[in-house]
Amino acid sequence: MSSQRRRQSAEVYRRRRILAGVLAVVLLVLAGWLTSLAMGWGQDAEDADTSETAEGDVGEAAGEDQAGPVPAASEEPGSDTEDAEGQDAAEEQDATEEQAQDEPAEDGSCRTGDLEVRASTGSESYGPGFAPMLVMEVENTADYACEADLGTAEQEFLVEHAGATVFSTAECSVSRESLPVQLEPGQVEQAHFTWPRSDSAQDCAEPTSLDPGNYELTVSLSGVRSEPHEFSMNAG
């Protein structure tokens, strides 16, 4: 009886060892599965964090792109400021020039813009044998007195017909003299020249045969020219 119990105890022990081995294998498999599952969850969490980070970077980049034009817009006030400063400088320069024009030159002479020169003739029409009287009229249009040279050195009487020059004192050997005159504001002076109906390209003093029709007289003084004045000449 005692030997049979010992054999049964050995067999039961062996079975227990086998069961324990099977349980150990099952536990190892289960532990490996749980480990792989945990690693999978960790990888998913990292992927989610990476995705959120990438979306955040894209959002920041988009924000930078949207904010990009802001500095450019902020430059506009500076540009307007520069334009305003340039305009102020131009206005100040214009004011200075206007103030300078309201005063005579340092030597007291008339400026070009101070004088108005006008042309006229003693008559609007001249018959045969009558020498036209050419008239130059000079007026000081400034608000101050100034000195102008009204002499023959600065004068020119120009007669034209059909667009061609007929007579000019600049082509003739006339006396060239200076005549400084102090002109008060609004003062008018006249100079006269008797034209002998000559062609200055041929002879300034001898009358010549002129075509009848309308003629134009233009006078100038120190470079200031008048508007043309029209008069008529009859044959002769």
- Predicted TM-score of the model (pTM): 0.58
Is 90 within a domain? no
Is 204 within a domain? yes
Q: Report the pLDDT value the prediction gives residue 26, as an integer from 0 to 100.
A: 64
- Number of helices and strands in the chain (H, E): 2, 13
Is 62 within a domain? no
Convert the pLDDT of each residue in 122-136 to its tens digit: 999 999 989 999 999
Is 172 within a domain? yes
Contact at 8 Å (CB) between 150 and 181?
yes
Is 207 within a domain? yes
Output phi, psi for 192, to 5 deg.
Answer: -120, 145
Query: Tell me, what CATH number does 220's domain have?
Result: 2.60.40.2360
Is 2 within a domain? no
Which of 158, 142, 139, 160 has the alpha carbon at shortest distance from 150?
A: 139
C-alpha 214/C-alpha 208 separation (Å) is: 17
Q: Report the pLDDT value the prediction gives residue 118, as an integer from 0 to 100.
A: 98
Output phi, psi for 60, to 5 deg.
Answer: -65, -40
Contact at 8 Å (CB) between 180 and 213?
no
Is 35 within a domain? no
Number of separate domains in the chain: 1
Instruction: Give the Cα-Cα-Cα angle 171, 172, 174 (nearest 5 degrees).
Output: 135
Is 88 within a domain? no
Low-confidence ranges of the chain (pLDDT < 50): 1-6, 41, 45, 48, 53-54, 56, 58-59, 61-75, 77
Domain of residue 140: give its range: 112-233
